[in-house]
């Protein structure tokens, strides 16, 4: 990890960049209708065409080949996706805005220059990936009418690869929680069971992939926001090495990437999204050994914060370990050397700037400082805690990040791959609060506490939610890549992913491991259970 990291500066611009952190908020059950960013017209495209089932069960790579061969047009693919949204979104609330007219125009003007995803419909996360003219609320009620005035370099790169953006997916306020729910956009319901949540904060993205609306949907990840919902909806979620993807900072912060159902799509997308300034993305990557079976793998099912881990999560890892050993891999039991409780205290310490950024945004629109009722209780608590942030906070965090870097560098020299559950449990019910109700009043009055008490109160309030997802934050604060693979389904017919983490720059190794599981038919997705 770079020693000059200033994580506080990142967090103070978190909302302005629209990135997503994993904190925890309240659950509700409201839903919202898809919002059109322009008038929607019905466009009928003449044959040839493909069936709905062919569209649902094809990878992005396969769809692009169909377009290029003349079996289907980009406009027809958009029609398939939009029809699926209109049929299923009232139950899922995965898509929060639709740009059908613009997408049809872009499809009509699309030129074949060999793009790998030529003419394939894509949904992007409504947070941190702005596209001009579409919603840019950050999930804040006072910003409900804000539209993006620019398109990010990340989204532009996606378009250059042939994708056609058809809309935006649901996310929680500021991306702060490990479920997808907010006062503005409502709950994203899990396609496996509508009473369950998708996870967060890229919850709308994974729901749209699991439900076959699109084969790939983008998101971002600063504490598990791509991997947690991937685990809970049975799709693939990759969090790349910090700074390797176009538009991402090289210091520990949020990373942009995607969730998908096919590892080849992920591999192609990864190669196409690498940062190109001075070939910086390629320069960060390490070569992959020809025989990955010679790579030692450590595994653990112990929660980093000493909380319970379900039998399902343990069984998911044991199942993977048994498979790997049967194929000749060396897999040994070993826990991460990092103190997870201390790590999360540092994580929350640095998250306080998110609250101040929220206040600044709201004040720029309303002319007034935000109130408790304007935002979630935790956004309010972060804002209050930031007012008492000590002057040495940056140094405290930097020292801890340096320690984590040393610890994980040494660990990966012995064990290049680290296997854990992605989440400690299967998806929670939408009625399960992400933090317990008795903490709401404590968060409301947190301004009366001293700073140490504030951070402890924040940790205590979040522990109910963190207990469900304690495995993902390490990769973010270490800057390492991690991937969630959909290899397990519980007796209750709910998915739970396994996570592989590797040293910085070993993203392609993780993708190759994912390909090994896919090639051996170990992926278990919703399509297999319908």
**Per residue in 375-390, pLDDT tens?**
999 999 999 999 999 9
Average pLDDT over the chain, rounded to an integer: 92
Task: Round to whole Å and give the CA distance between 169 and 154.
Answer: 16
Residues assigned a catalytic role? 125, 201, 225
Whole-prediction pTM: 0.93
User: Which pLDDT does position 34 carry in this prediction?
Assistant: 74
Q: Is the pLDDT of residue 154 over 60?
A: yes
User: Which pLDDT does position 45 carry in this prediction?
Assistant: 47
pLDDT tens for each residue of 486-514:
999 999 999 999 999 999 999 999 999 99
Task: Round to whole Å and give the CA distance between 171 and 87.
Answer: 20
User: Which pLDDT does position 35 carry in this prediction?
Assistant: 60
* Domain range 52-287+485-528, CATH architecture: Alpha-Beta Complex (3.90)
Query: What is the DSSP secondary-structure string of 435-478?
Result: S-THHHHHHHTGGGS-HHHHHHHHHHHHHHHHTT--SSHHHHHH
Residues 217/208, Cβ–Cβ less than 8 Å = yes
Residues 209/129, Cβ–Cβ less than 8 Å = no
Task: Round to whole Å and give the CA distance between 474 and 309.
Answer: 17
């Amino acid at each position: 990890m770079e020693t000059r990291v200033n994580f506080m500066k990142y967090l103070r611009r978190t909302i302005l960049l629209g990135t997503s952190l994993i904190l925890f908020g309240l659950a509700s059950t409201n839903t919202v209708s898809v919002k059109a960013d322009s008038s929607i017209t019905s466009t009928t495209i003449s044959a040839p065409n493909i069936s709905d089932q062919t569209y649902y069960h094809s990878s992005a790579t396969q769809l692009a080949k169909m377009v290029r061969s003349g079996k289907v047009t980009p406009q027809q693919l958009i029609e398939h996706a939009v029809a699926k949204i209109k049929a299923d979104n009232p139950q899922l609330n995965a898509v929060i805005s639709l740009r059908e007219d613009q997408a049809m125009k872009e499809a009509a003007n699309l030129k074949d220059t060999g793009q790998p995803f030529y003419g394939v419909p894509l949904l992007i996360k409504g947070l941190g990936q702005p596209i001009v003219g579409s919603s840019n609320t950050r999930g804040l009620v006072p910003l409900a009418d804000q539209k993006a005035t620019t398109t990010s370099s990340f989204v532009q790169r996606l378009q250059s690869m042939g994708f056609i953006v058809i809309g935006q997916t649901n996310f929680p306020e500021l991306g702060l929680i490990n479920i997808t729910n907010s006062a503005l956009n409502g709950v994203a319901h899990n396609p496996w069971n509508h009473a369950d949540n998708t996870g967060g904060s890229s919850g709308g993205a994974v729901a749209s992939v699991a439900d076959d609306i699109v084969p790939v949907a983008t998101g971002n990840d600063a504490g598990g926001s791509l991997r947690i919902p991937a685990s809970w909806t049975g799709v693939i979620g990759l969090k790349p090495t910090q700074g390797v993807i176009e538009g991402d900072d090289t210091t520990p912060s949020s990373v942009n990437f995607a969730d998908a159902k096919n590892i080849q799509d992920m591999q192609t997308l990864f190669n196409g999204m690498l940062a190109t300034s001075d070939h910086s993305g390629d320069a960060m990557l390490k070569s992959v050994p020809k025989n990955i079976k010679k790579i030692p793998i450590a595994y653990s099912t112990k929660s980093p914060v000493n909380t319970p881990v379900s039998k399902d999560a343990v069984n998911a890892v044991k199942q993977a370990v048994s498979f790997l050993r049967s194929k000749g891999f060396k897999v040994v039991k070993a826990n991460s050397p990092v103190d997870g409780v201390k790590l999360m205290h540092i994580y929350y310490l640095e998250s306080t700037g998110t609250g101040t950024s929220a206040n600044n945004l709201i004040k720029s629109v309303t002319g007034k400082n935000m109130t408790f009722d304007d935002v979630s209780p935790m956004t309010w608590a972060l804002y209050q805690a930031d007012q008492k942030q000590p002057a040495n906070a940056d140094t405290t965090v930097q020292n801890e990040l340096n320690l984590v870097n040393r610890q994980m560098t040494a660990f990966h020299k012995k064990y290049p791959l680290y296997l854990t559950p992605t989440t400690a449990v299967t998806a929670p019910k939408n009625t399960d609060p992400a933090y317990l109700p008795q903490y709401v009043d404590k968060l409301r009055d947190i301004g009366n506490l001293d700073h140490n008490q504030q951070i402890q109160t924040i940790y205590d309030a979040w522990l109910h939610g963190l207990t469900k997802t304690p495995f993902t934050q390490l990769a973010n604060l270490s800057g390492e890549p991690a991937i969630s693979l959909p290899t397990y389904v519980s007796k209750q017919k709910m998915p739970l992913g396994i996570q592989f983490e590797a040293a910085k720059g070993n993203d392609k190794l993780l993708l190759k491991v994912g390909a090994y599981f896919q090639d051996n038919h170990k992926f278990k997705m919703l399509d297999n259970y319908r």
